[in-house]
Structure 1
């Protein structure tokens, strides 16, 4: 507290200060208030900028991890096979969409991380699981490696190797969809899931009931045909 004194009739009397001390005190507080307000605003801007940077940093790798690849090759009758694949390198997934001449699309998912192939034919009420073999890994890895350089492949019909694989459906070994990984669960919602295994062929007593043709950039086209194994 500041006291002021004045002379009056040879006496010193205490009097109220009017020299602007209060005003000076309030003015001294004003710069401090302005400083804290500006500091708070600056911190808020920094936090917002960091949040946006983090969001972009998380979203960009995800967007770059998925790439759509189109593979075109004529079938044995000369008709072009309409096929595309979504390559997700971050999650080790390759999802094929194969459209038939009737304009109906089936889906084949290669889950490389868990070593599984899941077939979702458009005209069936089930999904079919198969364990990946060495040839499957080779074919998919060729797509993963080459898709980083280009997004379209035109395969030559004369140079393309064509293979046929038979998968026997194990009807008695139905899979609980909830036990599968997320990509497979999302693909086979509201469908039963059945295990299959590679077989030599259906034999004369068994009929093949559907096939899916898949082509890879390594000039290999595989026709996967399914039939039910004897109980």
Structure 2
């Protein structure tokens, strides 16, 4: 109810303003309603934002720890060797995807936490396992322990050290895949596993049946060649 004052000739008279009475009452309550509606809407938006942030933020530390690095180095014949390294600092994993000049792709997984290397060569029915040695740790750390990762490394052909390693495949000692760690099982789901061991060379009586060339940012390229050991 709004009180209005009218001036008469002899005194001030109190009268009610009848015009727009209900509207005036609504207008008096409208700011309060608008305030509460705005506050409720703001709270809902904050809750939704926090929920989305929490949901999307769970995998964020792991995603930030992963990075793809491209490594390019000229081969001795001048052909460029292209490979990609997927670096997972949180799980201590480095996965090298190597593409040969013939456009065939092989995968090499370095599981630093468990000290294992898994080779998944192209057009082969098995994956090959090797225990990591100190030189392997040093090479992988050039990717895994970099303070600030680059997205690409262009190695110089003149400064790159090249070496060849021979691994003998113990064909008779197949590994039970269920006893291996999850990254290895995921890499070779449809293949068998066999252990390998470092050797001086296959000798004349044995033939190397495939090689994988892998390079590291420390200007080291290793050609890993495999052959079957005698039963």
Same fold (TM over 0.5): yes
Question: Mapping of 1:86-165 within 5 angstroms?
Answer: 86-146=86-146, 148-165=148-165
Stretches of 4+ moved more than 4 A in 1?
37-47
Number of aligned residue pairs: give it. Answer: 198
Cα distance in 2 for residues equivalent to 1:229 and 1:63: 41
Structure 1 range deviating more: 172-181 or 124-133: 172-181
- CA-based RMSD: 2.2
Match of 2:217 in 1: 217
Cα distance in 2 for residues equivalent to 1:74 and 1:143: 19
SS at match of 1:62: helix
Question: Mapping of 1:77-92 within 5 angstroms?
Answer: 77-92=77-92
SS at match of 1:146: coil
Match of 1:71 in 2: 71
Alpha-carbon offset, residue 56 of structure 1: 2.9
Unaligned runs of 5+ in 1: 1-36
Match of 1:204 in 2: 204
CA contact (8 A) 1:69 1:147 kept: no
Alpha-carbon offset, residue 42 of structure 1: 7.9
CA contact (8 A) 1:167 1:197 kept: yes
Cα distance in 2 for residues equivalent to 1:223 and 1:98: 12
SS at match of 2:60: helix
In the superposition, the TM-score normalised over structure 2's length comes to 0.79
Alpha-carbon offset, residue 48 of structure 1: 3.6
Unaligned runs of 5+ in 2: 1-36
